[in-house]
Structure 1
Amino acid sequence: MSTEDPEALLDEARKWWTTSIVDIHPGEIAMRGYPIEQLIGRITFPEMIWLMLMGELPTRAKAQLLEAALVSSVDHGPQAPSIAIARMAATCGPGLNGAMASAINVLDDVHGGAGQQCMEIYYEVEAEAGADGDLAKAAATVVARRKEQGLKYFPGFGHRFHPLDPRAPRLLQLVSEAADRGETSGRFAVIGAAVEDALSQGRAKRIPMNIDGATAVVYCELGLPTELGRGVFILSRSVGILAHAWEQTQQGGRIKGPQAKFLNYTYDGPARRDLPEPDQRG
């Protein structure tokens, strides 16, 4: 491109960033084509999230399911690593933005990734079954295959704290009610139950679906890509992170570590020893 053509240079500069999300001009803001002043006060925040991510406004039923899933994952107590990190960071002086960023940064594969990973399993079961296949058989096949691949802990099932996660049944109830009204297929609720059956086969106690498995049902019913399943979980958990960071800021405290001062850690290194003189070090 010739730098002697100012119009061509300006056109090329405009193409540096391309977006179909927002269009802004002096005195004008449009989100996915909708003037912002028409959206304000007329759509809910979950509807706005859907519009921004998916490009169109959701049906009211989809928005309600998305909202329910977002509400369900907001917080799980200060023992959750991300929440604990937010509170510790708040005592170290970075402000709310730093405390939130510190916490959000740990929401990765191990802590925060189970919902996305469970969605991947559900979509794999759907693909295995095909349009008219046996979902229970497909679930058993996928579970067996994942075990052969070395998967020991199935994301979305079982819980280290709750014998039965109280959030999961309510979300599944909402999905079932939406399916009965014809607002969603209910197919992934069946897949989730089939995976639970396959995991529990031959065990004295069932391995029940947890919150990650239930939100995965919702997000798959809504047709979200798996990566966005994790993204919207992070949006949800950010509310709890903010609340805890703000509460800790109000409570005060300075440089609070992960455990109370009177609780010591476990040291398993060498016993105390004297440093040898230089000529004795070999």
Structure 2
Amino acid sequence: MQDRQDKQAIEHWWRTSIIDMSPGRISFRGKPIEELIGTVSFPQMIWFMVIGEMPSEGQAKLLEAALVSAVDHGPQAPSIAASRMAATCGLGLNNVMATSLNMLGDVHGGAGEQCAELYYWVSEHIENGKTREDAVNLGLARWREERGKIVSGFGHRFHKPVDPRAPRLMALVRSAAKDGFVTGQFADIGETIQDQLARDRGGRPLAMNIDGATAVIFCELGFPPPLARGVFCLSRSVGILAHAWEQMQQGGRNKGPMPPKFLPEYQPEE
């Protein structure tokens, strides 16, 4: 009796609907792995594993577009810089990637999640009968009260007045909406926020950046905001891997953020 109870306690310690695995058998969400290999794309598999159902072709293409768009932004991005520095410290690729991915926090890597929250706030106001313009103003007022003047998903320190990734992503969303794969509601919300932010700046244009555009996609696909950051991490891991591997081929040892002849400014305490 006790042995049976112990066995049940062990079996129930972890519970998952994601995978059913036993010797000689692997099944993901009820589908044998051998039926998925060669028939399902990687974006489809991501969706299937995380969401629990297979996406439509149009949904999978939008997810793939978001994944492709955010793979890299050069060594000036902290996560990419970290990958190259870590590679010169003698770490293996897995350690390099872990080091870099752990830098994707609220400021670098979290803007898509935050922007998705804003979009959903606006959507709730629209569902409660507000016009889109009024809902946007209410959403922005809440944002500024809770998080300050910088609105995640809009503006870019390099790409002014247009982030080249955003228009292409938005065009794909509009095409998917035309084909009935998504509603296009969040594309409208994102562009209305962009217009309102420009008006707030006296008419000066402000870019919708990669986070604002991918947040549109994630909301159109029905993803909860935290998944926006998770999917961004999957995407950026590709750039992290590429830069780490390139740095390993180039060589170099113990490279810091600047050449050795340049030293940080010393400021004595007053």
Structure 2 CA distance, aligned partners of 1:95 and 1:105? 16
SS in 2 for 1:142: helix
Give the 3 Å change call, closer, same or farther, for CA 6–270 of structure 1 in structure 2.
closer
Counterpart among 177, 185, 188 of residue 186 in structure 2: 188
CA deviations on 1:15-37 (whole Å, 9 max, x unpaired) are 00100000001110001110000
Structure 2 CA distance, aligned partners of 1:204 and 1:268? 41
Structure 2 CA distance, aligned partners of 1:103 and 1:175? 30
The corresponding residue for 2:106 is: 109
The corresponding residue for 2:145 is: 148
C-alpha contact (below 8 Å) 2:27/2:33 kept by paired residues: yes
The corresponding residue for 2:167 is: 169
C-alpha contact (below 8 Å) 1:83/1:240 kept by paired residues: yes
Counterpart amino acid of residue 190 in structure 1: D
Identity %: 54
Counterpart amino acid of residue 2 in structure 2: D
CA displacement at 1:95 relative to structure 2: 1.1
Structure 1 CA distance, aligned partners of 2:175 and 2:113? 24
Aligned-residue RMSD, C-alpha: 1.4
Structure 2 CA distance, aligned partners of 1:106 and 1:150? 21
CA deviations on 1:186-245 (whole Å, 9 max, x unpaired) are 000000011112211242412221000000000000000111110000000000000001
Counterpart amino acid of residue 217 in structure 1: V
The corresponding residue for 1:250 is: 249
Aligned length: 268
The corresponding residue for 1:72 is: 69
Shifted more, 132-141 versus 237-246: the winner is: 132-141
C-alpha contact (below 8 Å) 2:159/2:207 kept by paired residues: no
The corresponding residue for 2:228 is: 229
Q: Which contiguous aligned blocks of 4+ residues in structure 1 show a shift greater than 3 angstroms?
A: none
SS in 2 for 1:75: coil
Shifted more, 124-133 versus 152-161: the winner is: 124-133
Counterpart among 187, 196, 199 of residue 197 in structure 2: 199
C-alpha contact (below 8 Å) 1:157/1:213 kept by paired residues: yes
Structure 2 CA distance, aligned partners of 1:39 and 1:45? 10
Q: TM-score, normalised by structure 1?
A: 0.92
Structure 1 CA distance, aligned partners of 2:67 and 2:81? 20
Tell me, yes or no, if structure 1 residue 95 matches structure 2 residue 111.
no
Structure 2 CA distance, aligned partners of 1:114 and 1:149? 15
C-alpha contact (below 8 Å) 2:194/2:207 kept by paired residues: yes
C-alpha contact (below 8 Å) 2:20/2:30 kept by paired residues: yes
Give the 3 Å change call, closer, same or farther, for CA 132–182 of structure 1 in structure 2.
farther
The corresponding residue for 2:207 is: 208
Tell me, yes or no, if structure 1 residue 83 matches structure 2 residue 80.
yes
1:48-63 aligned at under 5 Å gives the runs 48-63=45-60
SS in 1 for 2:122: helix
SS in 1 for 2:157: coil
Counterpart amino acid of residue 155 in structure 1: S
Question: Bigger radius of gyration, 1 or 2?
Answer: 1
